[in-house]
Chains A and B, each alone.
Chain A
Amino acid sequence: MGIFDLGRYKGIVLAITGFLVFIAIILAFNHGIAGRFADNAVGLQFLAEQQARPVALHDAGKALAEQLKQGEDIQQQLDTLGQIARTYNTALGGLTTRGMVTKRDGQVVAVPALASNEARAILDNTRKLWDGYREKLTPILNFAGSPYATDSAQQPENATAAQKKDEGAATPSYSPRGRRLVAAVDELNEYAANAEAPLTKAMADLAALVEADNASDARLLKWLQIGGMTAALLLLGAIFFYFARNLRKEEIIANRARKETEDILRTVNEGLFLLDKDLRIGSERSLALNTIFRRDDFTGLTFDQLLKDIVPEKTLRTAMDYVALLWGERVNEKLVKTINPLSEVEVHFENPAGGFDTHFLEFDFNRVKSEGSLSHLLVTVNDVTKRVMLSRELQESQEKAQAQLDLLLRILHVDPDSLTSFLSDADVSLKMVNSILKEPAREEAAFRAKIDGIYRQVHAVKGEAAALGLKTVEQRAHAFEESLNDLKTRPSLSGSDFLPLVVKLDELFNHLAQVREMLGRLVDLHQAIATRRSAGGQVSAEKVDQLLAGKHDEVPVDPGAETGSVEETSASGLERTLADLAARVANSYSKQVTLRCSGLENVPEAYRRAVKDITIQLVRNAVVHGIEEPSERVKANKSEVGTLAVEFTQRGDGYELIVQDDGRGLQLERIKEVAIERGLITPAQAAVLDPRQTMALIFRPGFSTADRVTTDAGRGAGMDLVRILVAELGGRVGLASAGGKFSKFKIWLPATQRAAA
């Protein structure tokens, strides 16, 4: 800023300058008038002196005459007369030329009043009088030598004559020149007597004029002072008014600006604040900060203090390093935004319940420069929790979709029967796990037994999933196993340790349900395509998509198909599953079996699932345990091929499901042995059990009679599961068996309304 660049002070500087100039003019004027007072005083003194001169001149004339009469030496008196006359003449000369007066120190001063016309008239008169005077004076002043007779005899007498004068001496004798001098002096004195008064009066008149002038100057000065003071006061008043008004105007503008800033900071949704060089938060900040940081004590707070309780130590250090970098001149602000460690930072706020609330905050830093150098960092903070959550959800669902796609592709490569079988097995296993989890247990040994039981089930599921290449299932089963391993290594166990397993189990269930659903859709799709083909039509890609998306009901698969045929499809689906299962299991045990089903199409919708699970268990059980190997059957006079019958009928107010085989029947002794082995009963108890009670043992959890653990049996799931399923539906299980002849499971289920209730 240059020195003449006054900016906003221009007004006040101009006003004060104007005021000073005004005062200077008044003072100069005053000074001029004051000077005239001094000059007038000199003039008056001068006039007073000149007023006395004619009298002195007259007196000198008279003295000269007397000396002449006395015959005294006149030379001195002549000089005196001449001097007075010359002085007076000079004074008059000065006065007539523009009223000049001479001060005592010889300085010449012009008195304006004496240059006025009035004064000039007076002076003209005086001049005339003086000119007459001078005429008379000239011959006298030109006289030189002695006026007296010059004979030598007389000379001493001259001296004595002077002495004689006092004694009334006689008139001295004059030389002819002396006589003329005496006459001239007499003439002068006569003129002087007449001129003395007018000359004196003239000077008095002039003095009066000067005084009058003085008085008028004094009046002028008085008015000038009054006027000056009034004007000065008015000017000052005006300046004050002007500046007061400007000040007020500026204040209004400043207030308005401040108010606007406040409004902005109060309303803006973002957290805004400034950081100074010491990383202290500035006083101006947005109200949103209170909400974002759940505090209102920001005054004097440093950035470090703001963050330290809500972010991890490492993040805090990185953040402080980053902010320090921004204060340095070296880094390019725009080129470091991507490494801002607070661009999406997870923060934790303590909540009143004693826990933590997790939020995501987005910090943005901008350098604020003023006058070329960095003065502050402007920090913008936003709570982006919703955005982050949404994007995470999106990512999760994308991952899930990807996983589903992978699963689908995997499923497409797996033989559908194997998959169906796996699914039902896995389902049974997991239900078994569920029932083990529900078993009451108090002692450590019981807990350990539980873990082992669950482990066997889960491990089997994992192995089968791996064999089929169902990675997603395998992973989840594996995670379950890991949790179990973790429990195994714990020194002591309690019931609550099993709670997390319930969650894991649920996850596995859900996942298997997904696989099952996907498989169902694929089967539907397959059938739809088959139907279309047989009807000579084509399935559009769109419809395939719809089928895959599960919009199965909206697709008119076959216009001619009745609802019943769909039912039949699933009933025949179960029949097929059971037949496949029986054949597969029989094959793996080198047995032969035929399965006969009836009434499965009448299974009500609500029971379809349970009936499927139960029949799978019973059929598998019958093939593994009931049906004998062909050679054994031949020995017992039976056909090599065993027979299995599954019947579902409506009976009274409920339903009856019968699964019967013509195998060896239940071997009561073997059941007892196993139950003792498994710790379900003691040998003493075994001794007193009747056949009915013995048969009931096979429904106890953990009971399994197969010697080796295989996919199909030996995991102790089968009968227990059947019991659980039936109990869940409010039904009953009956069991009849004849050694070497048959086993018959009779299950009664209530009417579906009751089951629903």
Chain B
Amino acid sequence: MALATAKAEPLTNRKLKLMICDDSNIIRRKIERELKIDRLQVIATASNGKQAVEAFRKEPADVVTMDITMPEMDGIECVENLVKIKPDVLILVISALSDKATAIEALKKGANGFLCKPFTDRQLTEALEELLRGAGNVD
């Protein structure tokens, strides 16, 4: 089972792979540019949920930043798919705070945290660090 293989793979001291999913080119670049965590390495970016799932199948990331409203496949469905492929993936939902219920829906599907748009680079870094700390990957 996927769960077993995932558990067998300790994330502790190696570089972690990051995938960025957002339909906005600006936000994708903003995240890439402002990422200040050495251990995270961007391996893929996706502008819709479908792309994200395909990229994730080829090479599963350890950490994913996820927009909610995207064409083709929205963030909620995408989260559901990614977690099916790799149950221990860490997903940070990045979205506007207009509808809390939708964000909660994404978390119910398996996302781990939420960051409110718009965000500063500091907020992004803190949220990702907290995400990793919560999963026991950073001391």
Q: Decide if B2 is an interface residue (CB 8 Å cutoff).
A: no
CB within 8 Å of B: which A290-333 residues: 314, 317-318, 321-322, 324-325, 330-333
Which of B97, B105, B108, B111 contacts A338, CB < 8 Å?
A: B97
Considering the complex, give the chain B residue whose CB is closest to the CB of A342.
Answer: B100
Size class of the B contact interface (CB-based, 8 Å):
20 to 34
Q: Given the interface contacts A318-B100, A318-B101, does A335 sit within 8 Å of B108 by beta carbon? A: no
Residue pair B101, A332 in contact (C-beta under 8 Å):
no
State the CA gap A334–B100 with chains docked (Å).
16
Q: Is the CB of A336 within 8 A of B107?
A: yes
B127 at the interface (CB under 8 A from A): yes
Q: Knowing A325-B107, A335-B127 touch, does A330 contact B100 (C-beta < 8 A)?
A: no
Question: Looking at the complex, which one of A318, A330, A332, A333 makes contact with B104 (CB distance below 8 Å)?
Answer: A318
Q: Closest B residue to A334 by CB, please name it.
A: B130
Interface segment out of the listed B21-29, B31-39, B45-53, B113-121 = B113-121
- On whether A339 and B110 interact (CB within 8 A), knowing A314-B101, A332-B134, A334-B130, the answer reads no
Cα(A566)–Cα(B77), bound, Å: 74
Interface string of B82-123 (1 = CB under 8 A from A): 000000000010000100110111011011111110000000
CB of A341 within 8 Å of the partner chain: yes
Q: Tell me which of B101, B105, B115 contacts A335 (CB under 8 A).
A: B115
CB neighbours (8 Å) of B104 from chain A are 318, 321-322, 325, 339, 341
Contact of B76 with A by CB under 8 A:
no
Output the nearest chain A residue to B113 by Cβ-Cβ distance.
Answer: A335
Residues from chain A with a CB closer than 8 A to the CB of B116 are 338
Residues of B within 8 A of A334 (CB): 113, 130, 134
Whether, in the assembled complex, B131 has its beta carbon less than 8 Å from a beta carbon of chain A, the answer is yes
In the complex, which of the residues B92, B103, B112, B134 contacts A339, with contact meaning CB atoms closer than 8 Å?
B103
Task: Using CB atoms, name the residue of chain A closest to B110.
Answer: A330
Q: Is the interface of B mostly helix, strand, loop or mixed?
A: helix
Chain B residue with Cβ nearest A320: B104
Q: Is the CB of A321 within 8 A of B92?
A: no
A side interface size, CB within 8 A: 18
Please state if A341 and B127 are interface contacts (CB–CB under 8 Å): no
Distance between B62 CB and nearest chain A CB, rounded to angstroms: 15
B139 to chain A, nearest CB (A): 16
Q: Contact between A331 and B113 (Cβ–Cβ < 8 Å)?
A: yes
Taking CB atoms, residues of chain B closer than 8 Å to A321 are: 101, 104-105, 108
Query: Which of chain B's residues have a CB closer than 8 A to the CB of A317?
Result: 101
A341→B107 contact, CB < 8 A: no
Cross-interface CB contact of B112 among A324, A335, A338, A340, cutoff 8 Å = A335
Give Cα A341 to B111, complex, Å.
17
| Bound form: Cα–Cα A231–B105 in Å | 73
Bound-state CA distance A414–B81 (Å) is 61
Which chain B positions have C-beta within 8 A of A324? 108
Residues of chain A lying within 8 A (CB to CB) of residue B97: 338-339
Which of A321, A339, A340 has the most CB atoms of chain B within a 10 A radius of its CB?
A339
For the complex, give the distance between the alpha carbons of A341 and B103 in Å. 10
Cβ–Cβ < 8 Å partners of B101 in chain A: 314, 317-318, 321, 341
- Inter-chain CA distance A209–B110, complex, in Å, is 96
Sample 18 A-B pairs with CB under 8 A, ordered by A number.
A317-B101, A321-B101, A321-B108, A322-B104, A324-B108, A330-B107, A330-B112, A332-B134, A334-B134, A335-B113, A335-B130, A335-B131, A336-B114, A338-B97, A338-B115, A339-B103, A339-B107, A341-B100
Interface set of B (CB-CB < 8 Å, partner A): 92, 97, 100-101, 103-105, 107-108, 110-116, 127, 130-131, 134
A-B pairs with the 5 shortest C-beta distances?
Answer: A335-B113, A332-B134, A332-B113, A318-B101, A339-B103
A binding-site residues for B, Cβ under 8 Å:
314, 317-318, 321-322, 324-325, 330-336, 338-341
